[in-house]
Chain A
Amino acid sequence: MSDQLVKRRAPIEHYLLAIAFGTTLTIAVSLVVGASNPDDFWLAAGIGALTAAYPSVSLGAWLFVSNHTVTRDHRGEESVELTWMKQAASGAFLDVLIATLVVTVVLLVGRFQVDALPVLLLLIALSAVDAGLRYLANRYRALR
C-alpha cells in the first residue's frame, strides 16, 4: 500500500471564500436580528452577530474547505472520534444540567430577577465550550 498521506491544506482562495461566506451570513443574520429590535438596533445586531459568527464561518469551512482537509472514512461511525464526541456530548449535557439547576436554585433562593436572553446565551456558550474541551481532553488522553 502506498504511504501517501492526505493533503491537509485547501487552496488559499477556499479559506478566503469560507471567511467571506461566513462574514456575509453573519452580517445578514445580525441585520435581521437588529431590524427585529429597532429600539436597540445595535445591541440586538451585536448579539445576533455574536451568535451567528461561529456557525456561519463553520458552515463556510464545511462548504469550501473541508473537502480538501478532511479524510472521508467509509466507516466513520466505527471511528474513535465518534466515541470521543458522544462522551463529550453526554458529559457536557450533565454539566449544563447541573449548572442550570444551580443557577435556578440561586435565583429562587435569592429572589433575583434576570433577563432570560443573557442566561440562555451563557448556557449556549457553556455547552459549546464544555463539549469542545471535553472532546480535546478525550483526544489527548487517547493519543498521548
Chain B
Amino acid sequence: MRNNLAERRLDRGWTQADLARALGVSRQTVISIERGRFDPSLPLAFLISQTFGCKIEDVFTAENTR
C-alpha cells in the first residue's frame, strides 16, 4: 500500500515520535509505515485515519488495483 502519512504528519508539524505517541505505537512503526515497508493492521489504519480526521482511503491507497 502507498500512503501519504508523512505529508499529513508534517502538515500538522508533528515529529514521527509525536505521531507514534498519539497512536500508541513505536516510532519504528511510524517510520516503517511512512516508507511503505509495513502495512498497518485494520484497527491501526482506522486509528490513523481518525487521528487525521479523514477516511482510511484518504491516507492509504492500494498499489495494484484490478
The distance in angstroms between the C-alpha atoms of A143 and B15, with both chains bound, is 16
Q: How many interface residues does chain A have, given as a range?
A: 10 to 19
Q: Is the CB of A78 within 8 A of B21?
A: no
> How far apart sit A52 and B32, CA to CA, in the bound complex (Å)?
35
Q: State whether the Cβ of A75 lies closer than 8 Å to any Cβ in chain B.
A: yes
A interface residues with partner B (beta carbon < 8 Å): 1-3, 5-6, 71, 73-76, 78-81, 83, 139, 141-143
- Closest CB of chain A to B29's CB: distance in Å? 4
Q: Which residue of B lies closest to A141 (CB)?
A: B37
Scoring B14, B24, B29, B43 by chain A CB atoms within 10 A of each residue's CB, the highest score goes to B29
B21: chain A residues within 8 A (beta carbon): 1
